[in-house]
Structure 1
Amino acid sequence: MYLNNSNIKLPEDSNTIVWKYLDLSKFLDLLLSQKLFMSRSDKFEDQYEGTFSEPTFEEIKKLSIDNPEFLNYYKTHREKVAISSWHINEYESFAMWQIFTQNSEGLAIQSTIGRLQNALQPETNFNQYIGEVNYIDYKKEYIPFDDMFFPFLFKRKSFQYEREVRIISDVADNSIKINDGLKINVDINELIEKIYIHPKSENWYKNLVIQLVKQLGFDFCIEKSDLESDILI
């Protein structure tokens, strides 16, 4: 279950397709634990993750002159927020396969916005939101800071290709310590609509994935990648 926040935007159509590209070990961990791994926000490759744009930062600095703890709180809050990233796209993305998988191995989970919402299990210890990322010019544009989730829903324009939707968990109100990340309870069968296997993977790898999914008691629809289609001449 997730919390609704009228300030956080999402595609209106709950059938909007989203993808998660991952390697086999992370996929197996998801199936075996039936928990979704979320990365701590300050561990992302993008050093700007969870930070503010320059106009917003200037405003926060002014507010911090009389209250230095105000700025420190925003800095340390990044250690209390975990994120699971999903990619909005009607179709598979060649670029996403390249970025998030290696050695022609890996999988893509196909889901929808509605499935993400329904797959989240109620958490009593922390708040969760699902929101679409806004891509802005960090030198010129303003990020509102009246809501602690907002810094995590903005990224620089150079990341626009990600077309990202995020599940965000915030444990700031309790004593949970996030090291590299956080695992949250999910309904696996609701979360996963289809699985696509890397288009350049070998047959033994495809058969291995199919066999592992079956042995673990799941019957997901496993699709042949559209990028693997035979050439017609």
Structure 2
Amino acid sequence: MYLHNPNIKLPEDPDTVVWKYLDLSKFLDLLLSKKLFLSRSDKFEDQFEGTFSEPTYEEIKKLSENNPEFLAYYKTHREKVVVSSWHINEYESFAMWQIFTQNSEGLAIQSTIGRLQKALEAEKEFQQYIGEVNYIDYKKEYIPFDDMFFPFLFKRKSFQYEREVRIIADISSENIKINDGLKIDVDINQLIEKIYIHPKSENWYKRLVIELVSKLGFDFEIEKSDLESDILI
């Protein structure tokens, strides 16, 4: 279930467009399972995920001098926070295609902030929040630690191009151990507004995706990306 947290920043307009770029196998897994995968925060490629900036870390170290469990908790907490990353953009992104799809058989899910919020209502066991990522200088700027989600909603400025919004959940209170991540129930028809197919894909691939989606009982609008459209002169 989606919960609102007043401490977490989010675009005010629920119609703000968001995207998720993924390969065909992950897309089919989403449709077949009707579950969205959230990755364990310490499994991301960026080793700074879920950590603090230098000014904040120095403050936490001082607070931990007489309470070493305080710092130890923050270090292990990353294993209990799971994240699904989405990209805020009114239009599809050429850079995102290149970074998040390995070949010409990738897909992009187009959705909105409001759709994400409604889609998450299907999950009854785990609570999720949605937050926009802040991009800061980790050597100079301060990350507040009065909210347990803040370390997971800040990234280094070199990642600003991602314009990321995150579905995020903390399973610390649950007596479960996760390896790579966690799957949660979602309303697929709410989650997905439209599907775009990789700009370099062949026509047979578009037909295949349309057929697969139809056989699985969905009727999303599916389009070939227009980033490779013929030039007009």
TM-score between the two structures when normalised by the length of structure 1: 0.98
Task: State the distance in 2 between where 1:33 and 1:121 align.
Answer: 16
- Are residues 1:205 and 2:232 paired? no
Q: Corresponding residue for 1:121?
A: 121
Distance 1:146 1:122, change over 3 A: farther
Distance 1:133 1:174, change over 3 A: same
Is the Cα–Cα contact under 8 Å of residues 126 and 184 in structure 2 kept in the other structure? no
- Are residues 1:81 and 2:81 paired? yes
Q: Corresponding residue for 2:95?
A: 95
CA shift at 1:37, angstroms? 0.5
Query: Equivalent residue of 1:90, what SS?
Result: coil
Task: State the distance in 2 between where 1:208 and 1:231 align.
Answer: 26
TM-score between the two structures when normalised by the length of structure 2: 0.98
Q: Corresponding residue for 1:193?
A: 193
Task: Provide the alpha-carbon RMSD of the alignment.
Answer: 1.0
Task: State the distance in 1 between where 2:126 and 2:214 align.
Answer: 33
CA shift at 1:61, angstroms? 0.3
Q: Corresponding residue for 2:173?
A: 173
Query: Equivalent residue of 1:189, what SS?
Result: helix
The number of aligned residues is 233
CA shift at 1:125, angstroms? 4.1
CA deviations 1:61-84 (Å, max 9, x no partner) are 001100000001001000001000
Q: Corresponding residue for 1:146?
A: 146
Task: State the distance in 2 between where 1:186 and 1:167 align.
Answer: 12
CA deviations 1:170-191 (Å, max 9, x no partner) are 1001212111010011000000
Query: What does residue range 25-174 of structure 1 map to in structure 2 within 5 Å?
Result: 25-121=25-121, 123-174=123-174
CA shift at 1:114, angstroms? 0.2
Is the Cα–Cα contact under 8 Å of residues 40 and 81 in structure 1 kept in the other structure? yes
Task: State the distance in 2 between where 1:203 and 1:126 align.
Answer: 40
Query: Equivalent residue of 1:127, what SS?
Result: coil
Unaligned runs of 5+ in 2: none
CA shift at 1:224, angstroms? 2.4
Query: Equivalent residue of 2:206, what SS?
Result: helix
Q: Corresponding residue for 2:232?
A: 232
CA deviations 1:75-99 (Å, max 9, x no partner) are 1000001000000000010000000
Is the Cα–Cα contact under 8 Å of residues 92 and 226 in structure 1 kept in the other structure? no
CA deviations 1:158-210 (Å, max 9, x no partner) are 00000000000110012121110100110000000000000101112111111
Task: State the distance in 2 between where 1:207 and 1:138 align.
Answer: 46
- AA of the residue aligned to 1:195: I
Is the Cα–Cα contact under 8 Å of residues 20 and 86 in structure 2 kept in the other structure? yes
- Are residues 1:20 and 2:15 paired? no
Task: State the distance in 1 between where 2:71 and 2:175 align.
Answer: 21
Task: State the distance in 1 between where 2:197 and 2:38 align.
Answer: 22
Is the Cα–Cα contact under 8 Å of residues 128 and 169 in structure 1 kept in the other structure? yes
Unaligned runs of 5+ in 1: none
